[in-house]
Structure 1
Amino acid sequence: MKLFILLVFVMAADALDSCYTNQERKNIAELQNHILAFTKSVNTLKTGLKSKHTVWNGGCKKGWKPFRDHCYHLVQDKKTWFESERFCKKEGSSLVNVDDIDENNWLQSQFKVVSIFWLGITDGDLKHWINAVDYAPTKYFHWASGEPGNVGENCGMLQTTDGKWHDFPCGTQYHPFVCKKDVR
């Protein structure tokens, strides 16, 4: 708005051209050129930022889905749990850890295009399940009957047909996964 008022002032000054000296006219013309150049620069920056950071729905980048104050991205490329976690870290996120039943139900409903995906939890042979995000103990579980099961199955998965969790071998199974990060 200030730029518009300044531009109107400069244009009005141009209309009163006959009242100014040659030096004042030259200064006004130079100011008009600077304003036009500045306006073009601002428009160029706006266009560049929009193309670099296409943001939609709650502050999540294109391809990510918002829920509460987080963004989620399903990666259908099948990887081991370790490869999946590394991929998410490169994206500035981590494998999804589930905080409660509402988030679990949302994940189940949003990513039905795959039947199962890695969760960001592991027991690392310790008998205590922890989050891959901060290595804190996992507080919410939604295990299927009989799970967690076998020895050597140290990483969690969510099955989208029923939302139940299963444990699988971390390094020998290849599955899709979901990355999760805070809204920025």
Structure 2
Amino acid sequence: MQKILFISLVYTCMYQALAVCPQGFVEHEGSCYHVIRIQATWAEGRMYCHAYGSKLVSIETQKENTFLVNYLKSIDNQVHSARFWIGGNDIAQTGTYIWEGTQLPLNAGYTNYYQGSPDNGGDNLEEHCMEMSDRYNYEWNDNECKSKFYPICEMSGEDAEIIG
């Protein structure tokens, strides 16, 4: 039994290490990421990601968040505004944020909210979609879904292998 488990773990680690991402995506720990270079509403960004066989990013760990922050900082001179959509939203139920990709609640795992966020924009706004931006030190902030930012897409390395 231990031998089978060991072989399975070795295969899993090798597979993740060998994950090949589609052109334009970057790999990190078995997932592939891509920033769409078109400013779009959150819903449009979701559709762009789906067209690439991916979903808006679900950030599940501090390590993944750190990778994304460093990646976004490395491309911020290539985009008009360093504001990016991530998959968190409370469209279905105000105040209950879920990840678009996994449908899991944001508060069930790692979070990196900007101080006071999510706040639904106070009294006058309807902010139901999550962004990361240099404006908020790349911490998560809720914003109006109709705002136009750059979508960050994610797919698993396994899905990338099927597409590639």
Superposition deviation, residue 160 in structure 1: 4.1
| In 2, Cα distance between equivalents of 1:182 and 1:81 | 21
Report the secondary structure of 1:167's partner residue: strand
CA distance in 2 between counterparts of 1:100 and 1:117 reads 18
Corresponding residue for residue 7 of structure 2: none
1:141 to 104, 111, 132: 111
1:157 aligns with 2:131: yes
Two-structure CA RMSD over aligned residues (Å): 1.6
Give the alignment partner of residue 132 of structure 1, picking from 82, 96, 100.
Answer: 100
User: Could you tell me whether the CA contact under 8 Å between 1:108 and 1:159 is conserved in 2?
Assistant: no
Residue 117 of structure 1 contacts residue 158 of structure 1 at CA under 8 Å; is this kept in 2? yes
5+ residue gaps in structure 1?
1-56
Instruction: Please list, as runs of the form range in 1=range in 2, the aligned pairs for 1:22-101 lying within 5 A after superposition.
Output: 58-101=19-62
Change (3 A) 1:130 1:142: same
1:174 to 145, 148, 153: 148
Q: Does the aligned pair in 1 maintain the 2:131–2:142 contact within 8 Å?
A: yes
Larger RCO: Structure 1 or Structure 2 (Cα < 8 Å, ≥ 6 residues apart)? 2
Supply the AA of the counterpart residue of 2:133.
Q
Match of 1:107 in 2: 68
* 1:82 CA drift (Å): 0.2
**Normalised TM-score (structure 1):** 0.65
Larger radius of gyration: 1
SS in structure 1 of the partner of residue 39 of structure 2: strand
Identical pairs, percent? 25
Structure 1 ranges of 4+ moved more than 3 A: none
What's the TM-score, normalizing by structure 2?
0.72
Residue 136 of structure 1 and its aligned partner are, at CA, apart by: 2.1
| Mapped partners of 2:116, 2:134: distance in 1 | 18
